[in-house]
Amino acid sequence: MADPIVDPDPAPVPDPPPVRRTRVARLVAWIVVLVAVIVVAVVVVIDVGPPSEADLRQRAIGGRAELLIGVKDDTPGVSLRDRSTGEYAGFDIDIAYLVAGDLGFRPDQVRFLSIETEDRARMQARAGDGRFVTVDLVVASFSITKERAEQPGVRFAGPYLSTQQSVVTLKAHKPVSSLEDLRGERVCTLATSTSSEVARSAGVTLSGKNEISACVTGLKAGEFDAVTTDAAILAGFVAEDGGQTLTHHDVGLTGDERWGVNCGDNEALRTLVNLYLYRSAHDPTDRRWEQAYDRYLRSEQKFSPNQQVAIDHQPEVPKVDVRQWPWER
């Protein structure tokens, strides 16, 4: 720094040029520092930054004693309700318990309610007394699509499973290698499902039902020639049948059906579900997803030799930005 002499009164005697330049440089440095301090102070006071998990939980489920989850009740392997005990079991149920457990709900604090296909976007499930109830989460083999995600009141977390559309027929049916092979035949699917659009474009005579079990019952009764929907759903029926009367066909569709959790309007809850699915996918010690897959879906594979039931690892979930303690990272 070329300013060794301090002038007690600089006004009357002009500074020599190097001293003046140094002083101007110092002025610039002071202005930079002061502006930076003001900007930083504003940012720190406003407290920008991601929310913490506790903040999100407070916003998403603050004060809730029970978590209501809408699930299917007629799909073996995915989500089936035992008519005698009222208990639900299946892959979706285990995923629902995984999310609920991470949200801090014990299994007895989780209430499952049966939800129909067309009510999944509206989050309306039927309670035991027949009333419609708005649920907190829908875990009901609900495929993520752009159109659905754009609907008001639909926020997908996940995906938690990746499967494909396939076809089931009776054993006596000729082999099916594409949906076009079923042209002119009576095919049943879920009314408001992603499968119906693909099937319709293939030129089949389509019947839409609200429950996939009604399609399979109709298929066995000869009412339909085939049933088409997601392989993970159909594999359950084929496995339940023990491969005796039903056959599962790979129809060569390339599009993935990725199942998501509908969190309705609750953005904080969606963030949390994504966080827990992300952790489950990236924590090698967390085997809950793998155990659910092995128990319900891998065990069905032997009855569907031609069609993969679902991809056997957890699909990639977007990383969620939350505040974390250093030792949690």
Catalog residues that contact other proteins under the rule CB under 8 A.
Answer: 1, 3-6, 8-11, 20, 22-27, 29-34, 36-38, 40-41, 43-45, 47-50, 52, 54-55, 57-58, 61-65, 104-106, 109, 323-329
Nearest to 91 by CA among 101, 81, 113, 76: 76
Task: Pick between residue 47 and residue 150 the one whose CB is nearest to other proteins.
Answer: 47
- Closest CB 23 distance from other proteins, rounded Å: 5
Nearer to other proteins by Cβ, of 41 and 149: the residue is: 41
Judged by beta carbon, residue 31 or residue 127, the one nearer other proteins is 31
Cα 278 versus chain centre, distance: 10
Q: Which is nearer to other proteins, 4 or 130 (CB)?
A: 4
Decide whether 43 or 127 has the Cβ nearer to other proteins: 43
**Residue ranges with strand state E in 115-233:** 124-126, 132-134, 137-143, 156-170, 186-190, 205-209, 226-230
Q: How far is the CB of 17 from other proteins (least distance, A)?
A: 12
Element (H, E) at 247: strand 246-249
For every residue of 28-47, which 3-state class applies, written as one string?
HHHHHHHHHHHHHHHHHHHC
Q: How far is the CB of 248 from other proteins (least distance, A)?
A: 42
Rounded to 10 degrees, the C-alpha dihedral 61/66/69/75 comes to: 150
Radius of gyration of the chain (CA): 29
CB of 42 to other proteins, least distance (A): 9
- How far apart CA 219 and CA 228 sit, in angstroms, is 11
Query: Min. distance of Cβ 104 from other proteins in angstroms?
Result: 5
Distance of closest approach, residue 323 Cβ to other proteins, in angstroms: 4
Contact, 127 vs 113, CB < 8 A?
Answer: yes
